[in-house]
Structure 1
Amino acid sequence: MQVLAPKKRQNLFRSWTAMVVEGGHRSLWRGNGMNVAKIAPETGIKFLAYDQYKKLFEDGQNKLDLHHRFLAGSLAGATAQTIIYPMEVLKTRLAMGYTGQYHGINDCLRYVIKHGGWRALYTGYLPNLLGIIPYAGIELTVYETVKKAYCQKYNQDPKNPGVIVHLGCGTFSSTCGQLGSYPLALVRTKMQAHDVIRDGAKVAMHKYFHIILQDEGFIGLYRGFAANSMKVVPAVSISFVIYEQMKRILGLNSN
């Protein structure tokens, strides 16, 4: 949707159908092996870094202001993305490739390095970093703020308000984060997929914004947002539920 739909005038249903026609139903999971491989270290590093950054900003009473939470979340997201970003590039390359183009993750890695060098593994890193800072900052800040506000209003235990509360707060925070950072994620994906679709000379980040606004208007900056939300919102919401439950099981302080 982000890369090919504007040129082919495809909506979500047509894009789905085109993928199935080209590579069968297995094509809908193309690149998912790398996606699964990266999500564990990415999420683990993000939550670990978030807790560590919060400790840097805490006062003696273990309380954080809103802007401190936002800064801790932004730094945590930037830290995680910097470490796992090459896996993000490979995931996009695998997803965008045609059937039979790559014989697995290692083959894709060799191809990227051979034709673009090691720097190709960080294609689109700048818009990704600029996007993850508001996304992770908004997501983690809104999640904790909304959860604490709910627990105070309804006199719930903030350490264990229930799965439904975690799920609802996670869904709301993820949606807020996506709205604030999606245009940068869109440009990042276009830059990552450029060599796959071989669409002329490489384009700088700011030029992509100009092209999108010129060809599609402001709404073009949110091309594929519905499909992305269908994926990200439940995934992130579930991750918050598991995160909170594991903290409780392991006896960790919810703060």
Structure 2
Amino acid sequence: MVGQCFILLPLARCQENGNADLKRKRRWAKLFDQLDLNKDGRIDILELRTGLASRGVSRSSVDKIVHAGDTNQDGELDFEEFSQYLRTHERQLKLMFSSLDRNNDGEIDAAEIQHSLHSIGLDISRKEADRILRSMDKDGTMTIDWNEWRDHFLFNPLHNMEDVAHYWKHSMILDTGEQLRIPEDLSEQSKSSVWRQLISGALAGAVSRTSTAPLDRLKVFLQVHGSFPGTSNVLNSFQSMVKEGGLGSLWRGNGINVLKMAPETAIKFTVYEQIKCILHGNNATGHLKLHERFIAGSLAGAIAQTAIYPLEVLKTRLTLRKTGQFSGIADCAKQMLQRESIRAFYKGYIPNLLGIVPYAGIDLAVYETLKNSWISRNTDSANPGVMVLVGCGAVSSTCGQLASYPLALVKTRMQAQASVKGGPHLSMTALFQNILTQEGVPGLYRGLSPNLLKVIPAVSISYVVYEYMRKVMGVGVPR
């Protein structure tokens, strides 16, 4: 009898495993049939993108699936390749599920999510853990079983808990051409990942600023002169720029605008990290509260601006220069030193510094309000998604610019006024009074239109280039 049990138990297990394999293959066959839109027995990348779009799978994730599963390199997946990819991926997902399921009860709760993320250096609140849980909990039990976990991540090419953490808590460095926001969770990553991400953000900002440089030059001219010299309206200002200095004149001042990005980004992040350590002590991985982020961001921005401010003044002078006035950045700096002394490099410093506070405060407050409003309306999603974050960033940046624009205008006029031979050198207060007297309140917003026009393209270009550079440098993507 005992011998029979020893024989029957392995047979029962084999039968059970065989049934599980059969069910899994049937499930994969059903998925394959749904994705094979033209019913030719193969799935190409376009069919996969179309079929997985409703599941919220990104184009980059689809590309990774095809790359990983296409063993014969024909650009398509047959059923065998599709099944092999899912078999391998489910095995990885099972290992991640087991690592999360600390009490081995076959289910993951919010506390286990918190603990797992804490173990890789990412601290989240219970509320955030509950939101992550609800995004995967299909039966309303406030726990995740294996089937829910597998179905949620089946077509997300994630390899480890770090990948899952980045999926749950995505961060971006987006440059609107005015101020660079430091992502909330950037400092929760490894140092090498942080600096690769900062480089990606700086390169994205460089491309973004170069693409919108003509609008930026027009803005500076409108701030200082009201229009391009010799024109009566804004519409023909671009034509006048090209006529005066050729097509390349549209990008005057852009070189130094791009050049100052790298040191400004590095200083801003380094100072932000130091302030975060002061606020949180040894708990460097803790989240900053909204007011703490405002303080840290404002101070980091002020110190970074102080360090690179001479480059800001040079950028304004080079933007406004006439053809042949300076041979380059060094010549411009040399002439300023000879004619105006070192103080010329800090013209407009006070209004620039004052402008950081309303910009940073309103930008952050509006961004958080919009993001949290979206989250409260979409409780089934743990991650707002990049397009929501880009939209929030564009709106919040616009609001911040509206609040700080008069100070930015006065700063630019102060930077430029020393270059006007024999022109008056007015203080910040005197400039404000002069503008209000001669031009009224609208005078404080000259150049606002091209400045706002460049926000959406700047954010969009910055995002596209940033995502591409993240992939190239292997930042926050499955490897």
Give TM-score scaled by structure 2 length: 0.47
* Alignment of 1:21 onto 2:247: no
Letter in 1 for 2:307: I
- Equivalent position to 2:382, from 141, 145, 157: 157
Aligned to 1:135: 359
Aligned to 1:211: 434
Distance 2:225 2:430 in 1: 18
| CA distance 1:107–1:76, change in 2 (3 Å) | same
Do the aligned residues in 2 keep the contact of 1:47 with 1:76 (CA within 8 Å)? yes
> Greater relative contact order: 1 or 2 (C-alpha under 8 angstroms, separation 6 or more)?
1
Aligned residues: 249
* Alignment of 1:200 onto 2:427: no
Distance 2:423 2:324 in 1: 23
What pairs up with 1:64-143 in 2 under 5 angstroms?
A: 64-143=288-367
Give TM-score scaled by structure 1 length: 0.84
Give the SS at the match of 2:436.
helix
| CA distance 1:3–1:109, change in 2 (3 Å) | same
Do the aligned residues in 2 keep the contact of 1:76 with 1:136 (CA within 8 Å)? no
Q: What do you get for the CA RMSD once the two structures are aligned?
A: 3.0
| CA distance 1:5–1:199, change in 2 (3 Å) | farther
Higher share of residues assigned helix: 1
Q: CA deviation at 1:230?
A: 2.1
Letter in 1 for 2:358: P
Q: CA deviation at 1:251?
A: 4.9
Q: Output one character per residue of 1:93-139: Cα deviation in whole Å (capped at 9) or x when no partner.
A: 00011011110111111111111122211111111111122213332
- Runs of 4+ in structure 1 deviating by more than 6 angstroms, as ranges, are 6-9
Letter in 2 for 1:24: G
* Alignment of 1:228 onto 2:451: yes
Gap runs ≥5 in structure 2 = 1-221
Gap runs ≥5 in structure 1 = none
Do the aligned residues in 1 keep the contact of 2:223 with 2:447 (CA within 8 Å)? yes
* Alignment of 1:32 onto 2:254: yes
Do the aligned residues in 1 keep the contact of 2:366 with 2:396 (CA within 8 Å)? yes
Q: Output one character per residue of 1:134-176: Cα deviation in whole Å (capped at 9) or x when no partner.
A: 2133324433443344234323334xx3221221111011101
Distance 1:220 1:46 in 2: 32
**More deviation in 193-202 or 88-97?**
193-202
Letter in 2 for 1:174: S
Do the aligned residues in 2 keep the contact of 1:135 with 1:180 (CA within 8 Å)? yes
Distance 1:112 1:24 in 2: 25
Q: CA deviation at 1:5?
A: 1.6
Q: Output one character per residue of 1:16-50: Cα deviation in whole Å (capped at 9) or x when no partner.
A: 23222211221110111111101232234334434
| CA distance 1:43–1:164, change in 2 (3 Å) | same
Distance 2:307 2:412 in 1: 18
Letter in 2 for 1:157: A
Percent identity between the aligned chains? 53
Distance 1:186 1:138 in 2: 18
